[in-house]
Amino acid sequence: MTAPHVAILGTGLVTSVGLTAAASCAAFRSKLTNPSETRFTDADGEWIMAHQVDLGQPWRGLGKLSRMAA
């Protein structure tokens, strides 16, 4: 039995090192990172570092997810 053909028509990826799939993958291959301090602290009072996505505006909820998917 033959597997059906699949066509990939587009890709999407939003990360802290790129806002598109191509930019993110290039950054991954280059081993780039972009950690920053969050507004949260750990049990010892140290700032928690994270790889945050800067979208330019502080979108929240469904609007944020929609913007990241577009």
- Note every long-range contact of 17-26, with CB atoms under 8 Å and residues 24 or more positions apart, other chains counting: 17/51, 19/53
- Which residue has tokens 């301090």? 37
What does the pLDDT look like over 15-47, one tens digit per residue? Answer: 999 989 999 999 999 999 989 999 999 999 999
What does the pLDDT look like over 47-57, one tens digit per residue? Answer: 999 998 877 77
Whether pLDDT at 6 is above 70: yes
pLDDT at 68: 72
The verdict on residue 62 lying in a domain is: yes
- Can you tell me the mean pLDDT for 1-21? 90
Domain span at 64:
35-69
The verdict on residue 51 lying in a domain is: yes
The verdict on residue 49 lying in a domain is: yes
The verdict on residue 39 lying in a domain is: yes
Whether pLDDT at 70 is above 70: no
The verdict on residue 24 lying in a domain is: no
The total domain count for the chain is 1
